[in-house]
Amino acid sequence: MLGGEKMNQKIDQALRQIELSKKAISDAENILAELLQEDNSPSVIEPEPSKGVEKALESAEVQFTDTTPPRTDLSCYLCNSKVYDNRPNKTSGQYKPTAPDFSCSNNNDCSGMTQGKERMLRKAWWLDSKDLPQEWIKTTVPVSADDDRVVIDPPQENAQDNGVPFN
């Protein structure tokens, strides 16, 4: 029986050490939390904006209609899945105004997924999201046909070149 008592003492001693370790870890977490709350540097993970760009434009009394066609060539930089351009659906009223402007199509294993109230949510971007790739919203003006070009001051066949740019 003496061996059993010795074993119980060692178990009790080990459990006390575990409790002390738990308290030390808890104290360290509290100290770190206080230090991080005092730190004014921005968080790496920032919440998505609650107000859209459209609301800011409305408050500034600026009229804006987005006629940009939806982009179909976008891919998520986190998982390489297709990214949906939701801007036309938001403009038409099919999606709520608070819906994201872009969303990843991968709803299984994209590393950008976030925990919602009831389920995991796909990675999403709004026009004013800090991690929105700017090339997604850049638009290029298509080159117009030659017959649409306006030529200013066409060269004159019999004009004399006297160093003056305009005759």
The rounded percent of the chain whose pLDDT value lies above 70 is 66
The gap from C-alpha 106 to its chain's centroid, in whole angstroms, comes to 15
Which of 31-40, 97-106, 128-137 shows the lowest mean pLDDT across its residues?
31-40
Give the pLDDT score at 43.
54
On the question of pLDDT at 48 being above 60, the answer is: no
- Work out the percent of the chain whose per-residue pLDDT is above 90: 22
